[in-house]
Amino acid sequence: MNKMTVRDIDASGKKVLVRVDFNVPLDEKTGEITDDSRIRANLPTIKHLIARGAKVVLLSHLGRPKGKVVDTLRLAVAARRLAQLLGQPVGMATDCIGPEVEKQVDSLTSRDVLLLENLRFHADEEAGEASFARALARLGDIFVNDAFGTSHRAHASIVGITRHLPAVAGLLLEKEVDTLGGILENPAHPFVSMLGGAKISDKIALLANIMGKVDALLIGGGMAATFLKASSCEVGLSLVEDDMLSTVARLLEEAKKERTRLLLPVDVMVADELDGQAETGVVPVGSIPGNQRIVDMGPQTLSHFSQELRGSRTVFWNGPVGVYEIPQFARGTQEMARLVAGLNAATIIGGGSTADVVNEMGLTDDMTFVSTGGGASLEFLSGETLPGVAALRDKSS
């Protein structure tokens, strides 16, 4: 990565603002964190700054409060968990801007850590409001972006703040950019990408950008229905993005030109309802009943995908290959996760719901890299410039 990082700055005694992504899932009943992997992902940067005597001030959002204070989305729960992981106290600010917060920050001593309250309690954060960015910048001497998962957004705490402070990358952001960039620029072949999820529209740019770089594309999940219909298969009640059919047809032709093996399901599990109690069956893709919908891959498809993956040296996976939220329809995704975890290959998981699957199954440590950015990783691999990365100082400066 050609951006400056925390390794390039003198943080001793400085107030260092670190944008992290503590947007962790919470239990609806207890309000406790159900998966702390996003907090753990930022630990290397936080520990690096503590070890160098910085006064560490953390900025994050949680959920979608839409510019209002929502008590269930306060970040105190994240501060408590971070304190446990660091083995030292973590202060919790009353807000993220204002005179009281400035006093709290000014009272910090070297190696102290303070977490500011939810940025999105202020509508100006997502609006990228310049005055809000200036108010945040008044709290620090240096800005570090370690929130790759939000770096595709031009929010005040991601881009606006860089106009007022020296801005560098954290260790997580650096690893994200280097890892994802590496599979585009110099992957070990055979390079296989497995894509699932509900919609093809979310991944069109990604597909177009990687088409000539991958050796094989495996298409599953809800988006497979649009590919199947574009290939003249009837898909019953399955969700189809009809406005994408001509685009998908062009992608199928492009795959042939690029000699990319594009594998679609050959058999699928179908159900009449998206319900765990629904009756299911497995049928060839040419025999999907008109009153049923695709909910998972079938055993023959599972075998075909597995064979392709076993021959790979690089794998990028984004998107469940079935309706993973319903246990009855989760087998294909779970089998794929176990298979990918056991491969002798570089295995990169593209964040979002795919990362959630891997984390829930306890397979994170068996993957080469699990991205913290769903939308950000898709945009990055689509060849787009992420505003939060572009705003950081170049190494040449």
Q: Is 103 considered catalytic here? A: no
Residue among 339, 338, 327 at smallest CA distance from 362: 338
Q: How many domains does the chain have?
A: 2
Q: Is 63 considered catalytic here? A: no
Catalytic residue among 149, 222, 352, 374: 352
372 to each of 148, 175, 318, 338, how far by Cα in Å?
7, 11, 12, 20
Sheet holding 346-349, edge to edge: 261-263, 216-219, 191-195, 314-318, 346-349, 369-370
Which one of 112, 144, 174 terminates a domain? 174
Catalytic residue among 80, 199, 261, 313: 199
Backbone angles phi, psi at 297, to 5 degrees: -80, 155
Do 101 and 198 lie in one domain? The reply is no
Residue among 376, 362, 379 at smallest CA distance from 37: 362
- In the numeric block, the tokens 């950081």 are attached to 392
Catalytic residue among 3, 15, 38, 229: 38
Handedness of CA 16, 73, 101, 82 (dihedral sign): negative
Burial class of 306 by CB neighbour count within 10 A (0 to 12, 13 to 18, 19+) = middle
Q: Is 375 considered catalytic here? A: yes
Do 283 and 167 lie in one domain? The reply is no
Taking the C-alpha atoms of residue 58 and residue 47, their distance in angstroms, rounded to an integer, is 12
Taking the C-alpha atoms of residue 43 and residue 372, their distance in angstroms, rounded to an integer, is 13
Contact 145, 388 (CB under 8 A): yes
Which one of 128, 148, 174 terminates a domain? 174
Nearest-5° Cα angle at 327, 324 to 333: 40
Give me the pLDDT at residue 212, please: 86
Do 116 and 15 lie in one domain? The reply is yes
Do 119 and 53 lie in one domain? The reply is yes
Q: Would residue 113 count as lying in a domain?
A: yes
Q: Would residue 387 count as lying in a domain?
A: no
Do 203 and 349 lie in one domain? The reply is yes
Do 28 and 149 lie in one domain? The reply is yes
Q: Would residue 389 count as lying in a domain?
A: no
Tens of each residue's pLDDT in the chain, 397 residues: 899 999 999 999 999 999 999 999 999 999 999 999 999 999 999 999 999 999 999 999 999 999 999 999 999 999 999 999 999 999 999 999 999 999 999 999 999 999 999 999 999 999 999 999 999 999 999 999 999 999 999 999 999 999 999 999 999 999 999 999 999 899 999 999 999 998 888 899 999 999 989 999 999 999 999 999 999 999 999 999 999 999 999 999 999 999 999 999 999 999 999 988 899 999 999 999 999 999 999 999 999 999 999 999 999 999 999 999 999 999 999 999 999 999 999 999 997 899 999 999 999 999 999 999 888 999 999 999 999 999 999 998 6
**Token output for 285:** 């893709």
Contact 375, 151 (CB under 8 A): no
Give me the pLDDT at residue 202, please: 84
Query: For the domain that residue 131 is a member of, what is the CATH number?
Result: 3.40.50.1260
Domain around 204:
187-381
Q: Would residue 386 count as lying in a domain?
A: no
Backbone angles phi, psi at 371, to 5 degrees: -65, 145
Burial code of 259-295, b = ≥16 C-beta within 10 A, e = fewer? ebebbbbebbbbbbeeeeebeeeebebeebeeebbbb
Handedness of CA 293, 227, 306, 196 (dihedral sign): negative
Q: Would residue 73 count as lying in a domain?
A: yes
Q: Would residue 230 count as lying in a domain?
A: yes
Give me the pLDDT at residue 1, please: 87
DSSP 235: -
Do 159 and 208 lie in one domain? The reply is no
Q: Is 38 considered catalytic here? A: yes
